[in-house]
Amino acid sequence: MDADVRDEAAEPGSRARWTVLAPAAALVLAALCLRGPFSAVGPLLGDLADELSVSTGALAVVTSVPLICFGLVSPWAPALAARLGLHRAALAGTAVILVGVALRLAGVVGLFAGTVVLTSGIALVNVLAPALAREEYGTRSATVVGAVTGAMALSASIGAGTAQPLADLAGSALAGLTLWGVPLLLALAALGALARARPERTTTPPAPGRRTAILRDRVALSVMVFFGLQALSFYALLTWLAPVLESDAGLSGVAAGGLVAIAALVGAPLSLVLPPLAARRPSQAPWIVAASVPTAVAIVGLLVAPAAAPVLWAILYGLGTGAAFPLSMTLILVRSRDVAQTGRLSAASQSLGYLVAASGPLAVGLLHEATGTWRAGLLLLLGVLVAQLAVGLVAARPRLVGAGA
């Protein structure tokens, strides 16, 4: 990523070979493949255990692998983009996802290895997406970032909601998981066409000192921590909301799973609206507060009266976490100075953020095992929300990351 690229040069009006909407469509199509391939695993753990003759507990490790891979692989995305160019790097990341999806057909080893490979590819595209949006659309990129984050949320919901029907259609859980190869092939075609239409700018990868400078910048750190805390809340929701609703609200497994899918889905429209609105103002503080309120009400509701309105608690949790993610991506855009810094801040935020997020589902699960109830875990998530609000208000201040970061 070229640090000297001017946003104005990337404005839509300066392009002749592509229409304004084509690059956004390619990015959205790719984003639709960034959550479903692993969110589909959770609902199929029982079927996979039977097919592969392993315990559900052993397979549960597969659900924690994505966040760890996101954290470990994300820092490498800017260097890959510097060597290949942004568009080719995103294309390569999408190809890696497809390889991982195919590998999962190869039994137990293939399931674990394929999950590592595909989530590594997802980590690369996750990081590159906001930088690509800024490269293509310049100062108008917030709308595209909103569409991309909305597509990611939709992907998570589709993955969870269609997992069992696809497994039934394909004849087995493993075969059902590989059907994600179909949209991935379409995304590869779209990104390939976009890459061919763009003369790539390759540069020398940033020096280690430049890569770590962003970790010492206070503005950047606030954005990173906010990203991590909101991701922790979302993935704790994805992992444990169904068991909480079954245990405390008395819902059936099918009803609880359906509510999780709905909760993941309701945030998708917010991703289309919030980024452009939040980017218009120097400070995003009102939006940070607005995103925290539904989550707080949902957690308190689950603590005090879980059976009174489980549908409402699930929807409010989905609205709050669904609003926080596009806001975190918007902060990456509006706090960075150029395309190159957007890429570095995106990589740092997602690396630190997803490593933080990986601890959330584990901590909630351990607290439940230790206490026999979900109360301690919900209180933990309420504390995380308070910290998220506090650091989010710091990140929302109208300042930019330092020029040397």
Task: In whole angstroms, give the CA distance from residue 319 to residue 226.
Answer: 17
- Is 137's pLDDT higher than 70? yes
Determine contact, residues 132/86, Cβ cutoff 8 Å: yes
What residue spans in the chain does CATH classification 1.20.1250.20 cover? 1-205, 214-405
Which comes out higher in pLDDT, residue 303 or 256? 303
* Res 41: pLDDT: 83
The confidence band for 8, taking pLDDT boundaries of 50, 70 and 90, is very low
Please state the CATH superfamily assignment of the domain spanning residues 214-405 in this structure. MFS general substrate transporter like domains (1.20.1250.20)
The confidence band for 234, taking pLDDT boundaries of 50, 70 and 90, is confident
* Res 384: pLDDT: 96
- Is 55's pLDDT higher than 90? no
- Is 212's pLDDT higher than 60? yes
* Res 405: pLDDT: 74
Mean pLDDT, residues 77-95 = 92
The confidence band for 227, taking pLDDT boundaries of 50, 70 and 90, is very high
Q: For residue 123, which of 349, 361, 395 has the smallest C-alpha distance?
A: 349
Determine contact, residues 327/321, Cβ cutoff 8 Å: no
As to burial, measured by CB atoms within 10 angstroms (0-12 exposed, 13-18 middle, 19+ buried), residue 209 is exposed
* Res 296: pLDDT: 97
For 271-291, the pLDDT digits (tens) are 888 888 998 889 999 999 999
Task: In whole angstroms, give the CA distance from residue 307 to residue 32.
Answer: 33
Task: In whole angstroms, give the CA distance from residue 133 to residue 214.
Answer: 21
DSSP state of 138: G
For 337-369, the pLDDT digits (tens) are 888 888 889 889 988 888 888 888 888 888 888
Which comes out higher in pLDDT, residue 178 or 265? 178
Task: In whole angstroms, give the CA distance from residue 42 to residue 36.
Answer: 11
* Res 99: pLDDT: 97
Mean pLDDT, residues 240-245 = 86
Architecture of domain 1-205: Up-down Bundle (1.20)
- Is 105's pLDDT higher than 60? yes
* Res 262: pLDDT: 85
DSSP state of 3: T
Task: Please state, in angstroms and as integers, the Cα–Cα distance from residue 63 to each residue in 236, 389, 393, following that order.
Answer: 11, 27, 31
Mean pLDDT, residues 223-249 = 89
User: Under DSSP, is residue 130 helix (H, G, I), strand (E, B) or coil?
Assistant: helix
For 148-183, the pLDDT digits (tens) are 988 888 888 788 778 888 988 999 999 999 999 999
- Is 92's pLDDT higher than 90? yes
The confidence band for 202, taking pLDDT boundaries of 50, 70 and 90, is low
Task: In whole angstroms, give the CA distance from residue 400 to residue 405.
Answer: 10
- Is 40's pLDDT higher than 80? yes
Which comes out higher in pLDDT, residue 38 or 311? 311
The confidence band for 189, taking pLDDT boundaries of 50, 70 and 90, is very high
HSE, CB side, 13 Å, CA atoms: give it for residue 358.
Answer: 18
